[in-house]
């Protein structure tokens, strides 16, 4: 769902933008339909005993002093390894290199925890049911021509001084909304992409749980999506899911 145009709202700054219905009914987290594979059959006792006996009887190779001295300089494996991604931009670059196309990667700054590892394309960022709200979200996209977003903070309202003062980032760059490390929780956010569609869902505290997935499509005037809660009490975002 979405709204066309970026005009400043009047009245309550926390109210959902005109034309947007804020969902309140929890729903299940969208799944990708993957199922766990069946465990492999364990080896029989006879086969295991035979293999153990054979291993014990096999002669051990002799290692000369020269060879032993040189082994420390030999890498354990010649296979090229990729370092774990530390930011959303790192993660989306790795994913796009392995599987070209549309992707979104993101990570959450969780109260009392800090920045979590990034997840992508439907992974859950944050911690559900632990009363630890998200203070910030970092996003990065591939194949969307970039993205934009704004966050509504529990203590200070819309960032940038207004609902439509969005921040943006090109593909492969990090976009951070919220205030990491400030102790201020995020109550809601709006976001869109420059091309295609973006969808999101949020897990809200105070027994709300997962809301209904919202989607927005790009256009001449971007259609945005609104996630979170317009309730001014204790309803804060604890986890989030994105897809593009």
pLDDT in tens, 104-115: 999 999 999 999
Domain assignments of the chain as residue spans, ordered by start: 88-243
Quick one: which H or E segment has residue 68?
helix 65-71
Look at residue 83 in the predicted model and tell me its pLDDT: 67
Q: Is 55 helix (H, G, I), strand (E, B) or coil?
A: helix
Contact predicate 184/177, CB 8 Å: no
* Prediction pTM value: 0.68
- DSSP conformation class of 223: B
Q: Is 6 helix (H, G, I), strand (E, B) or coil?
A: coil
End-to-end CA distance of the chain: 14
- Residue 189 tokens read as 């956010």
pLDDT in tens, 179-226: 999 999 999 999 999 999 999 999 999 889 999 999 999 876 778 999
Look at residue 32 in the predicted model and tell me its pLDDT: 35
CB burial of 67-80 (b: ≥16 within 10 Å; e: otherwise) equals eeeeeeeeeeeeee
């Amino acid at each position: 769902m979405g709204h066309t145009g970026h005009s400043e709202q009047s009245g309550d700054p926390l109210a959902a933008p005109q034309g947007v219905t804020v969902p309140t009914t929890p729903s299940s987290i969208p799944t990708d339909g993957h199922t766990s594979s069946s465990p492999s059959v364990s080896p029989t006792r006879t086969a295991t005993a035979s293999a153990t006996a054979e291993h014990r009887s096999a002669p051990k190779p002799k290692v000369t002093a020269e060879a032993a001295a040189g082994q420390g300089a030999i890498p354990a494996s010649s296979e090229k390894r990729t370092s774990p991604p530390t930011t959303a931009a790192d993660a989306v670059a790795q994913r796009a290199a392995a599987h070209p196309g549309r992707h979104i990667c993101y990570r959450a700054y969780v109260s009392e925890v800090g920045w979590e590892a990034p997840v992508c394309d439907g992974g859950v960022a944050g911690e559900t049911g632990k009363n630890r709200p998200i203070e910030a979200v970092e996003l990065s996209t591939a194949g969307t021509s970039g993205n934009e977003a704004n966050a509504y903070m529990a203590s200070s309202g819309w960032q940038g001084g207004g609902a439509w003062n969005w921040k943006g980032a090109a593909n492969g760059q990090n976009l951070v909304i919220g205030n990491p490390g400030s102790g201020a929780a995020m109550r809601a956010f709006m976001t869109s992409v420059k091309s295609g569609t973006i969808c999101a869902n949020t897990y809200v505290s105070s027994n709300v749980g997962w809301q209904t997935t919202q989607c927005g499509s790009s256009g001449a005037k971007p259609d945005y999506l609104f996630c979170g809660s317009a309730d001014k009490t204790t309803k804060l975002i604890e986890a989030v899911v994105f897809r593009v």
